[in-house]
Amino acid sequence: MTFDSVFFDNASTTKIMPEIAEELVCFNNDYYFNPSALYYHLHRMSEQNKPTLENMRQSILKCLGGDNGKLIFTGSATEASNLAIFGSVKKNTRKILVSMGEHPSVYNSALELKNRGFDVEFVNLDKTGKVDIDDFEKKMTEDVDFVSIMHVSNETGAINDIARLVSIVKDVNPKAIFHCDGVQAFGKINVNVDDLGVDMYTISAHKIYGSKGVGALYVKNKVSLKPIIFGGGQESGLRSGTENLIGIYTLYRASQIVTKNLDENYNKILNLKNLFLQKLAKTNLKYALHSFEDNSPYIVSASFEKCRAETLLNMLGDYDNIYVGNGSACSSKKMGNRVLESMGVSKSDIEGNLRISFGLYNTPEEVEYLVQKLSERVNMYLTNAR
């Protein structure tokens, strides 16, 4: 069986759900007004069931379990996390704690704070890719005022126990702010920001079948946040700039759909992951897995012995139209991998590391095709390398 193209890089992005794309035509005709203009609010806010900006905001908050907070729409998850970090760190912030596993949107923001003279500590990961609890407890001292730890790793699918980490933080310093990057968690595993206890939580539309260029930051009531973008004062003054209404519509609808189908989708993806691992185990390939059973099934990190991931990735793309990732597609990858290094993965394993991430439009047939081609290409690579 052959395929036109097979996409196994769903952690980097997803396509807009066809049903949402269809609805967009109607939405665009009816709701092209500037959402911050007075006439729009007077006219639309009174119509209860219409997807006005405020109704969409409330609906997404409900999907997040965010009864005790607000939602700020941004131009990406990267921007949402930047708002969380640079909007809450103040001159008198004493210490900042982030993990070595963070996506560059958080990790590089932390490095920037360090460059600006702030005291920033990085918490190590354990062998399974989760935040090392012992190291976290050691570094979570009473002078830590801001913490940012991701929910699900975009590299390995490791799930951090956010509720436990929040409770450690608040026990030591009840005033410390806890931000969580939930981009690879929301819509894939159970998320309830109230139960997690976080102060802020970042989400992105294009990881859950909405459009690119839309993110949002959940902010718990009473968290004091300053804007990082100035202008017309939209989004409660926290993110100036006319809201991307079309993009927000895709986030709103995608949030509704993925939240409603969470268990069904999870089981479907788990079956694809298990099929992948079973089929892979039957090949003659030598590989190491850096994703474990209690991870999110949406992401598998695997290293192929004596291979260079970049070459494999190109072979699969060029010859077989199969698209897989090698780590975070949001960053132009330099050699090495900070996340895997922090887990203690060897340099040669890092070189041969691929990220396979499953999505709702993948089928078991595509998974079988992936393993068949992966096996052929790795064997071809090793023969040519001899």
**Which residues contact ligand PLP (rule: CB under 6 A)?**
12, 76-78, 103, 105, 150, 154, 181, 183-184, 204, 215, 328, 330
| Residue whose CB is less far from ligand PLP, 184 or 255 | 184
| Residue whose CB is less far from ligand PLP, 74 or 173 | 74
Q: Give the shortest CB-215-to-ligand PLP separation in angstroms.
A: 5
| Residue whose CB is less far from ligand PLP, 183 or 378 | 183
Point out which residues pair with 192 in neighbouring strands: none
Q: Give the shortest CB-350-to-ligand PLP separation in angstroms.
A: 18
DSSP 120-172: EEEEPB-TTSSB-HHHHHHH--TTEEEEE--SB-TTT--B--HHHHHHHHHHH
Residue 317: partners with Cβ closer than 8 Å, 6 or more residues away: 323
200-204 and 215-220: which strand pairing? Answer: antiparallel
180 is catalytic: no
Residue 278, H or E segment: helix 262-281
Yes or no: say if 331 and 383 are a contact pair by the CB < 8 Å rule. Answer: no
Which CB contacts under 8 angstroms, 24+ apart, belong to 56-61?
56/248, 56/249, 56/251, 56/252, 59/252, 59/255, 59/256, 60/203, 60/216, 60/251, 60/252, 60/255, 61/218
Tokens of 96: 């900042």
CA distance 316 to 331: 21
Residue 270: partners with Cβ closer than 8 Å, 6 or more residues away: 297
Q: Give the shortest CB-199-to-ligand PLP separation in angstroms.
A: 17
| Residue whose CB is less far from ligand PLP, 102 or 121 | 102
| Residue whose CB is less far from ligand PLP, 109 or 173 | 109
Q: Give the shortest CB-176-to-ligand PLP separation in angstroms.
A: 21
Q: Give the shortest CB-13-to-ligand PLP separation in angstroms.
A: 8
Residue 185: partners with Cβ closer than 8 Å, 6 or more residues away: 151, 152, 159, 191, 296
Catalytic residue among 63, 180, 307, 330: 330
Catalytic residue numbers read 330
